[in-house]
Structures are given as C-alpha cells and as structure tokens.
Chains A and B, each alone.
Chain A
C-alpha cells in the first residue's frame, strides 16, 4: 500500500467502480480500497440468504427458502433503461461481456386502487383501461407528436416552442386530462414529483423518447436486469479497472484521509500505512465531515412465494404509484425480480417497495405499495439517509458521490459519475480511449 497513486478510490459501490474503471482506462494509477470484505458497498447483492436475515437481525430462514446460496438480494432496487446511459457505458467499456441480462417483463402504473399496463405505443394506448374513448385519441395524438419530435427540426414542433414553453402547456395543447398527465409524467417520463410541469417541455419529451426507445430495443418493457443481481455491476467495472492496472484491496479499514498543504488531499492512512495520492474519489460514508444529509429513502425488501396479482404472473415487473394517486409529493416504486434472474431459490420472488420519506412514519407511507403484493413471507425495512457532498473537490481534490436516490433506474447514477469524472479530470470521458482489442472477443 505504501506507494504513490494518481487516484485512490474508497468504496466499491457502483459509482466508485465505474469511476475507478474510467480513471484506469484514462491511464491513471489507481488504488481501489473497500473497508468491507465484499464488493458493492450499498449496491451489493447479499448472498447467502442467511446473511440478509442476520443483517436485519431476523432469526435464520427455514428450509422453505431453499439453498441460501441461490439468493442474491439487492439492497437498492433499480433497473437499467435499455437505451440509457449505463447500458452505453457497459457497451463502450466492454464490461457487458462479463454480464448477462434479462428484460423486465412488465411495467405497470397505479390508478384508482388498481394497476394497469403502461401504454407506450398507439396500439396499447387504444387498448388501455386507463382512459376513456375520447381521451385515448387525444393521448394517441400526443404519442405520435412525441415520436415524430426532433430536437433539430422545428417543423416537428408544430407551432409549439418546447424550449421556452413548459410541459403543462404541451399537455394543454393536446387537451390531456389530469390523470393522463399523471401516468405520462411519472410512468413514462419517470419524474418523481410534479416540478417538471413548469420546466421546458423538451426535457420531458426526451425522457418519454428514452422510455420508448428503450422499449423498442428488447420489447416487453424498457428495463433490463442483470442475472445474479445488481451487485454484478460494480464487480464488472472493478474488473475493468483491474485489467487496466488498478490495484484492489478489500477488507482494508481506512483510518484517515491525510490532508496536505492548502487543504489538498495528500494520501490515505490505514493503520500505520499511508498511500500517497493526488486525488481521492469516494462515497459519502468515507467523508462524513464533507457531506450533508438532504433527505431519507425508505426501502422494504419483501420475499414472496408468488407473483404479484394482476401482472399476468410476470416474473419481473415494475409498478409506479404516482404521488397524487395516494396524496403524496413523491412516487412510490414497486419492483419485482425472481428466481429466473438467479437471485432467489426456485419458486421465490423478491419485491422491493421504496420511496422518498415525507413523514415521521415512513413505514405507513409505503403501505399502498405493500398492499399490492398479497401475502408477504418476510419483510425487511431499511431507512437510509441520503447524502450530498458539501465539497465539490476542486480545491481539496476529494470527489464525493451522492448516495443512491429513490429513482427506479440508473440515469441519475450515471450523470453523477460523469459529472464527478469531469470535475476530477477536467475533461469529459473519452470512450475512444478503450482499446477494443482487449482480447479477441468476436
């Protein structure tokens, strides 16, 4: 450890592993350390099941749960948008060759106490039970407008300026009802609250396009999920970093971040060893004095021995409960994966209900989500603080990621990573730096 590095990365969560990979690929000498014995930090998948039960202080699982080693339970629920930033990063870095994915089978939205499939094309819009007959036609016209919309071609804007006029104005232009606006903004554009209505319409149009382009890639739903759980993602990027010379140390406690002249980071101390470095990249847990709490997220892991009702027995699905449907300010998300993803023993399902905490009684807030699940065999609730850095790193050269938010996908995760990389290196990540002759992959 007693060496000098360009960058020391602390924590092996997904964001840190992507950063470590990008830094190594860019020719930096990287030391990547985690205080835990395992990869993934908060974005690890817990295996075996006994470990999950003991983590939450529950008595060990009985025999009905099958082999504990067949379980890989995520602590943070997320899916990948098939056409989103993380998939682009995976493909461009070649990390995709270490992983296998499955499409998520269904995407549902909650309205008036029941769930309906999210309509995404004209055919589905006309068949949907979310809208009346005339509303279906108006929604269909809206979808066609979004589909034909091109940022670069004002002719497709149809007498509407998406850069200056807001999203509410676009909804009004098509005469869409409030409830249609609700599922469009929350289940298609994936906004967590209604602030977007006052923002330029172009942002929302792009998000709906990302949804439909993602859907077009693999069918069924716009989401992908990795076999063996999300914990595979940080491991894949860590391997990329190692291939480009990154040094890995797990199970290494970090006792001090050593600050040198002018408040600039000089190294990292573990026991009596000090590794010198020019920069540190880390998650909030390594620098409690340089972050502030900006909220809380509640996540409830539910083990089920059946699929969710009214989802056509989908083996994986997402259900979005838009805020207004249940009188809240932020949406509730339900995600479901199962034994087909090698994350549970045969016949088992893992549902996760999550949202941004708004009250003193967060468990009560997720009740509408839990009520959709039917009988729950085992429930684990966690409430985690959401931290944002108070130091942008430009002086200290300590670059800190934000905690994982309540969104259902990795778009904000990737934006944070790309922003940190740019702050740290002064340049955008250059994908062409990756040698494609990393072996003779066909």
Chain B
C-alpha cells in the first residue's frame, strides 16, 4: 500500500492541504476487543456482544492534523490470528499497528509482547506501533498494571494508552497519537511500504499514475 497522498480540491477549487494514506493493522489475542476498537473509532458504535469478526475487515477513517489529513486504511485480522494463521500479506506495507491486550487478562498481555516481536520480524522496520490496554472500563478486575505495560512500551519505543471501546476512552486519542507520529513525507512509504503497483478497479481503462506519494 503506497503512502498515497493527494491534494484535496474543494468545489470552489481551493486546495485544502495534503492527504496521506496509511495502512494500519490490528493485532492481539482473540476477544481482547480489536474489532470493537475499530468499530468505536470508525462508526462511534459499541456492541456488548460483538461477534467474532465477520464481514468487516477493511475500514477507513480519517484524522485531521494541522495541515494534513491522515487517512487510515484499517485491516482487522478477520479471525486468522486464532490458529496463528495470519498471512504475510497482512503485515505487508503496514505503516502502523495497534497491538491490543485486555487489562483483565494477563495472558493477553504476554501474547501482545509476542505480537510486537512478530511485527519487528515481519513488518517494515520503521512501522509505528501502539500498545492498547483495552477494557479499561473493567479496571476493578484489572490483572495487568498500568505501570508494567507503560514500562514495557517505553522500553520498546511503543506508544501506549489504556483504552475502552465501551466508553470510548482514549480510542480517538490513540489513533491521533499514531497519526502524529507517522512520517508525512515522500519517503514515508518506502522501503517496506508501497509496492508502486496499481489497484484494479471495475471498468478500469488505460494506464494511470501508480501510487502517488506525498509531495
């Protein structure tokens, strides 16, 4: 996924600043709330009994910074993490990742550390990684201390927040923090980023410029 950037045109022809597009992947054990975080961020919704991910694994949402619009292309695992069957394609070209664990479940924090290692092995070297301790609304059942996770995140250069998809706490904030940290220049996509190919669309005719980058 190239770091596609363009300049938005308003109807009256005025330019609006640049738009940068980034691929963001979610990782974490089953049932820690990956899909719920995305659903909260993209649609402002929360379902107490969110089904295992079905039928929504490619969502986009934009975040506005000063003069830049950051568009996230968000990839959910579609359940393929369950038996450790995520395809290399999932990591390919990802410029940001949110690794999610459940603060009421110590095992999911251990697994989160494994996912961070996996990202460092499989993804592009300059990927921006955020660690999200989800289900903060259940803090009375907390099993993972804030300080412990915070120290781990610091040590590994990760962004860190405790979030709640249920109450919306820190959900927009964590995406915003990632948006701020992402490089918004021409080199941002390379080397692990965009392959400089083209996407196929219906009724596509004639060659088009492939994968524009930030100007």
Contacts and interface: CB of A to CB of B under 8 A. Distances in A.
A245 B54 contact: yes
B79 A103 contact: no
Given A47-B88, A250-B84, A217 B205 contact: yes
Given A96-B199, A96-B200, A227-B197, A242 B56 contact: no
Contacts of A218: 206-207
Nearest to B38: A439
Contacts of A102: 197-198, 210
A247 interface: yes
A244 B54 contact: yes
A96 B58 CA distance: 12
Interface string A231-268: 01001101100111101111110000000000000000
Q: Which 7 A-B pairs have the closest CB atoms?
A: A100-B197, A227-B195, A242-B78, A248-B85, A235-B87, A439-B58, A227-B197
A123 interface: no
Main secondary structure of the interface of B (DSSP, over half): loop
What is the size category of the interface that chain A forms with chain B? 35 or more
Interface string B80-112: 101111011110100000000000000000000
Contacts of A97: 58, 199
Interface string A211-227: 00000111100001011
Contacts of B59: 439-440
B57 A438 contact: yes
Interface string B49-87: 000011111111000000000000000001110111101
A96 B201 contact: yes
Contacts of B84: 250-251
Contacts of A236: 89
B6 interface: no
Q: Tell me if A's interface is mostly helix, strand, loop or mixed.
A: mixed
A341 B54 CA distance: 32
Instruction: Name the residue among B53, B55, B84, B207 with the largest chain A CB count within 10 angstroms.
Output: B55
Given A235-B89, A438-B56, A440-B59, A100 B79 contact: no
A56 interface: no
A232 B206 contact: no
Interface of B: 1-2, 42, 53-60, 78-80, 82-85, 87-90, 92, 194-202, 204-207, 210-211
A228 B195 contact: yes
A239 B195 contact: no
A440 B89 contact: no
B76 to A, nearest CB: 8
Contact of A239 (B2, B80, B202): B80
Contact of B87 (A239, A252, A439): A239
A217 B196 CA distance: 19
Contacts of A242: 57, 78-80
Contacts of B85: 248-250
B79 A247 contact: yes
Interface string A46-79: 0100000000000000000000000000000000
Given A97-B199, A244-B55, A249-B85, A441 B207 contact: no
Contacts of B210: 100, 102
Interface in A64-113: 87, 90-91, 94, 96-103
